[in-house]
Amino acid sequence: MTTTPNVLTDSINHERMLVLPSKEDEFETWLSGTPAEAFALARSFDPAAMRIVQSGFDKEDLLAA
């Protein structure tokens, strides 16, 4: 399932991002809750809690440079 991108994923030219449950109770709701409860979790992930790195064999964290 995807949702509106946060500012970080939007910066790499994505029009959507994956829904990312991050807390234990969110996982339980996602798996066992009602459809309405699960859909309520469809929101952008906190950009401060993630970073974008290159893919491939020569990965380089450009933010750390």
| Alpha-carbon gap, residue 1 to 18, rounded angstroms | 6
Angle at 15 between CA 9 and CA 20, to 5 degrees: 55
Q: Is the dihedral of CA 21, 24, 25, 29 positive or negative?
A: positive
**30 vs 12, residue with greater confidence:** 30
**29 vs 13, residue with greater confidence:** 29
**65 vs 30, residue with greater confidence:** 30
| Alpha-carbon gap, residue 45 to 41, rounded angstroms | 10
Q: What is the pLDDT of residue 55?
A: 62
Give per-residue pLDDT as tens, 23-64.
899 999 999 999 999 999 999 999 999 887 776 677 777 677
Query: Global pTM?
Result: 0.62
| Alpha-carbon gap, residue 57 to 24, rounded angstroms | 32
